[in-house]
Structure 1
Amino acid sequence: MTTPDKAASLKRMKTLATALLVVVTLLFVVARREGWPWLAAFAEAAMIGALADWFAVVALFRHPLGLPIPHTAILPRNKARLADNLARFIRDRFLDTASLVARLRAADPASRIGVWLQQPDNARALSDRLGVILVQSLDFMDDRRVRRLLVHALRKRAAGLDLAGAVGRILDALTENRRHQGLLDEGIRKLAAWLDEPGVQAAFAGMIVDVASKEYPKVVAMLGLVGMNPTELGDKVSVGIVHGVNGLLDEIAADPHHPRRQAFDELVEGYIERLKNDEALRDKIDAMKRDFLAHPGIAKYVDGLWDDLRGWLASDMARPDSRIRARLASAATAIGASLAANPALRDSLNEHIERTVEGLAPQLRDGLSEHIAGTVRAWRDEDLVREIEHSVGRDLQFIRLNGTLVGGLIGLALYALTHIL
Structure 2
Amino acid sequence: MKPRGTQFARPGKAEIEDNTQPRAPLRDLAHPQKYKPNTMEAPQKRAALNRMKVFATGLLVVAAGLFALAKSHHDAGAWAWLTAFSEAAMIGALADWFAVVALFRHPLGLPIPHTAILPANKARVADNLAEFVRDKFLGTEALVDKIARFDPAGRLSVWLTEPGNAALLGEKSLAAISQVLGLINDEHVKNMLYTSLRRRAQDFDLAGGVGALLSTLTADNRHQRLLDDGLTELSEWLEREEVQQMLADKIVQVAGEEYPTLIGALGFMGLKAEDLGRKFAGGLVRGANKWLHEISENPEHERRQAFDRAVGRFIERLKSDPSFKQRIDEHKQQWLERPELRAYVNGLWEEFTGWLREDIARTDSVLRGKIVAAASSLALTLANDASLRDSINTHMHDAMRAVAPDLRDGIARHIATTVRQWDDRTLVRDVELSVGRDLQFIRVNGTIVGGAVGLLIHAISIAVA
* Category of TM-score, reference length = shorter chain: 0.7 to 0.9
Distance 2:160 2:229 in 1: 47
Compute the displacement of 1:201 (Å): 4.3
Question: 331, 349, 354: which is aligned to 2:374?
Answer: 331
Structure 1 residue aligned with 2:87: 44
Counterparts of residues 111-190 of structure 1 (less than 5 Å): 111-119=154-162, 121-141=164-184, 143-171=186-214, 174=216, 180-181=219-220, 183-184=222-223, 187=226, 190=229
Alpha-carbon spacing, 1:85–1:266, altered in 2? closer, same or farther (3 Å): farther
Structure 1 residue aligned with 2:387: 344
Counterparts of residues 16-35 of structure 1 (less than 5 Å): 16-34=55-73, 35=76
Structure 1 contact 140–146 (Cα < 8 Å) conserved: no
User: Structure 2: which amino acid aligns with 1:403?
Assistant: G
User: Structure 2: which amino acid aligns with 1:104?
Assistant: I
Structure 2 residue aligned with 1:309: 352
Alpha-carbon spacing, 1:351–1:270, altered in 2? closer, same or farther (3 Å): farther
User: Structure 1: which amino acid aligns with 2:406?
Assistant: Q
Q: State yes or no: 1:370 paired with 2:409.
A: no
Alpha-carbon spacing, 1:67–1:356, altered in 2? closer, same or farther (3 Å): same
Q: State yes or no: 1:291 paired with 2:291.
A: no
Distance 1:246 1:167 in 2: 31
- Summarize deviations over 1:113-134 as a string: whole Å, max 9, x none: 2333334522222222222333
User: Structure 1: which amino acid aligns with 2:48?
Assistant: S
Distance 2:455 2:200 in 1: 88
Structure 2 contact 178–357 (Cα < 8 Å) conserved: yes
User: Structure 2: which amino acid aligns with 1:341?
Assistant: N
Distance 2:310 2:162 in 1: 58
Structure 1 residue aligned with 2:457: 414
User: Structure 1: which amino acid aligns with 2:195?
Assistant: H
Q: State yes or no: 1:387 paired with 2:430.
A: yes
Could you say what secondary structure the match of 2:112 adopts? Answer: coil
Structure 2 residue aligned with 1:99: 142
Structure 2 residue aligned with 1:110: 153
Distance 1:106 1:93 in 2: 18
Structure 1 residue runs without a partner (length 5+): none
Alpha-carbon spacing, 1:273–1:230, altered in 2? closer, same or farther (3 Å): closer
Structure 1 contact 168–275 (Cα < 8 Å) conserved: yes
Question: 83, 96, 112: which is aligned to 1:69?
Answer: 112
User: Structure 2: which amino acid aligns with 1:159?
Assistant: Q
Alpha-carbon spacing, 1:316–1:18, altered in 2? closer, same or farther (3 Å): same
Alpha-carbon spacing, 1:374–1:166, altered in 2? closer, same or farther (3 Å): farther
Structure 1 contact 117–123 (Cα < 8 Å) conserved: yes
Alpha-carbon spacing, 1:244–1:147, altered in 2? closer, same or farther (3 Å): closer
The TM-score, its normalising length taken from structure 1, stands at: 0.82
Q: State yes or no: 1:398 paired with 2:437.
A: no
Alpha-carbon spacing, 1:143–1:189, altered in 2? closer, same or farther (3 Å): same
- Summarize deviations over 1:339-358 as a string: whole Å, max 9, x none: 22223332333333334333
Structure 1 residue aligned with 2:50: 11
- Summarize deviations over 1:66-100 as a string: whole Å, max 9, x none: 12222211111111111111112222232233332
Alpha-carbon spacing, 1:280–1:140, altered in 2? closer, same or farther (3 Å): farther
Distance 2:212 2:401 in 1: 37
Q: Percent identity, aligned pairs only?
A: 46
Counterparts of residues 185-224 of structure 1 (less than 5 Å): 187=226, 190=229, 201-202=239-240
Distance 1:67 1:342 in 2: 71
Could you say what secondary structure the match of 2:364 adopts? Answer: coil
Distance 1:286 1:59 in 2: 78
The TM-score, its normalising length taken from structure 2, stands at: 0.75
Compute the displacement of 1:360 (Å): 2.9
User: Structure 1: which amino acid aligns with 2:433?
Assistant: H
Structure 1 residue aligned with 2:97: 54
Compute the displacement of 1:382 (Å): 0.9
Could you say what secondary structure the match of 1:68 adopts? Answer: coil
Compute the displacement of 1:182 (Å): 7.0
Structure 2 contact 247–281 (Cα < 8 Å) conserved: yes
- Summarize deviations over 1:130-163 as a string: whole Å, max 9, x none: 2233333434445334433443343344333333
Structure 2 residue runs without a partner (length 5+): 1-39, 257-261
RMSD, aligned α-carbons = 3.7
User: Structure 2: which amino acid aligns with 1:99?
Assistant: A
User: Structure 1: which amino acid aligns with 2:351?
Assistant: D
- Summarize deviations over 1:302-356 as a string: whole Å, max 9, x none: 3333333332222221111112211222122222222222233323333333343
